[in-house]
Structure formats: C-alpha cells, structure tokens
Amino acid sequence: MNYFFKDGNAYIEKDGSLSLEKTFDCGQTFRFEKDGSLFKGVALNRELTLKDEEEHIILYNTEPEEFKRLWVRYFDLERDYASINKKLAKDEFISKILDISKGIRILKQDEWEVICSFIISQNNNIPRIKKIINTLCESFGDKLPNGYTFPSPEKLLSVGAEGLSVIRSGFRAKYIIDAAEKIKSGQINFEDIYKMDLEAAKIKLMEIKGVGDKVASCVLLFGFGFMDSFPKDVWIKKVMEKYYKENFDIAKFQGCAGVAQQYLFYYERYINNKR
DNA sequence: GCCCAGGGAATCG
DNA sequence: CGATTCCATGGG
C-alpha cells in the first residue's frame, strides 16, 4: 500500500485492502478498541492511535523510520491483498462473501503475546478473552501514558501461576507459566521456528502445555507470519459443514490459506451478529 | 440451573 | 488409535 508522512503522522492511502474495523475485530488481536472515530491499542510495546478517514488511514505520532521498521510489517502493508482476493475468489463461496470480509489483513504480532493470548482463548469467548488480557497487562505490564505493555515471560514467571489468579483465567494459568518457562529455557526458540515448515513448527509449539493444533495454528498465523496456517475452531468447523460439506479443498488456497480462514471466520460471526 | 465460549489434557474403551 | 470427560470462569 502507498503511504506518506505529514506532521509526525503516517498517512496510508486507502485502496479497499485495509479496514481497521475488520482487522481489529476479526479475533486475531484482542488489544484494540474503537473510540469514536479512532482506534486505540497497544502493540509491540507501543501505544497506537489510528483514524479511518475518507481517503486515508492515519497512524498518529510515528516517524518514517519507525513506521517503516515496525508498522509496515505489523499491518502487512507490503502484501498484495488484491491478488490474494482474486485467487481466493476462485472459490465460489469466498467470492460470495468477499465484500463482507475484504479489508482484513493478517497482523504480524509479537510472538509471545500471541502464544499467551491464544492459550487464554481456549474454551473461552472473545469478550472474556479481551477482559483477561486487559487485566493481565494492567496487572503485570509496564505503564504507558494511556495503557500497558504486554508483560514478558520473565515477569509472569516471577509472579507464578498463583500470582496470575487475579486475571481469572482459570485452568489456563498453569499453561501460561509453562509457555513462559519453555521460552525462557530456550526449549521454544522463535528463530528456530521461523526456519521450520508449517507442520514442524506446529509440532514444536505443541510442546507447550495448553497448546494444541488450533492454538498453534493461530500462533503461527498471527505471530509468525505462516500465511498457510489454517486454524480450525468451532466457527470454521461450522462453516465447513454448512457451506462446503466434503467439497472443502484447502490446496486451492495455497499461499494464503490463513487469509481465507479469517475471511470465513469473520463472515460467519458477522452474519450471526457476533460483533 | 443449564449451556456455551477462536480447545486441550487426561482418561477410557 | 477414537471417543468421552474434565477443566475455571462468566455471561446469556
């Protein structure tokens, strides 16, 4: 996408391939809120304020150097979603829902935050996932002017599973600690995971207690940029049996299956008023 | 009270 | 193996 800078802000020229509303609301991140015409949140230890205007999306208070170094990748701005949409539209059902789902981009989020967030997501609903993560950050993150960073593995190890009781995450607390331990010990090494193929990476992440096939798939898609990762949650399973039956062929989404997954997930929740 | 929520571990047959 | 059951918690 094209962008320029003015008065300390970045202006992204809208072309229909980025909707803040959909991208923040499709269940891949839990830390952005709509505030009037603004979207506010914390990502990569920094506070972000964005505005969706007629011609531009404004990312406030960022210098060109920082924008290019962090936010172009975070918002996946260099990927050509128009051609992805063209490819996905060859699927009859996706071509029908494209108008509703297009504008979602796969965010490239912090790996640890995504691991932790999707451990919390298991057998849970999105409003409560958000609440737990907010409490986690307020309780153990570093204070920013208007928010909190996501707490590090070391910080959570120092409070332990008992200390996590304030976030009311139930049985998931011990899973969070296990993840933190395996990351600190080096058993789970992010650089190694980037070098693996999708299956090997998934199996590696599943060494963490509380991380199964679905959570690992979300982590690889939203945290590591594995664009062919295709998390199968209850909504996607519903989509498959409702619209595809036995005709679902993931092979035709090669290279962007994760985008297809988000489109389907967002659509089914959208028509069921889950937003 | 019952059911479910972006599942996964433990247990059982 | 596949199929059940249990796991904490809160909202509808």
When pLDDT is cut at 50, 70 and 90, the band that residue A236 belongs to is: very high
- Which nt has its C1' nearest the CA of A125? B5
Least confident of A53-62, A70-79, A175-184, A233-242: A233-242
Q: Is residue A85 over pLDDT 90? A: yes
pLDDT digit string, tens, across residues A104-144: 999 999 999 999 999 999 999 999 999 999 999 999 999 99
Identify whether the C-beta of residue A259 lies closer than 8 Å to the C-beta of residue A104: yes
Report the alpha-carbon distance of residue A79 to residue A106 in Å, rounded.
10
User: Is the pTM above the cut of 0.95?
Assistant: yes
Three-state SS letters, A95-130? HHHHHHHECECCCCCCHHHHHHHHHHHCCCCHHHHH
pLDDT at A246: 83
Residues with CB under 7 A from strand B: A 26-28, 121-129, 171, 206, 209-216, 218, 231, 233-236, 261-262, 265, 274
Report the alpha-carbon distance of residue A91 to residue A96 in Å, rounded.
9
When pLDDT is cut at 50, 70 and 90, the band that residue A14 belongs to is: very high
pLDDT at A253: 97
Q: Residue A233 CA to C1 C1' — how many Å?
A: 23
Neighbouring CB atoms inside 10 A of A166's CB total 14
pLDDT digit string, tens, across residues A86-101: 999 999 999 999 999 9
Which tokens sit at A229?
């990762």
Identify whether the C-beta of residue A255 lies closer than 8 Å to the C-beta of residue A227: yes
Q: Residue A87 CA to C6 C1' — how many Å?
A: 43
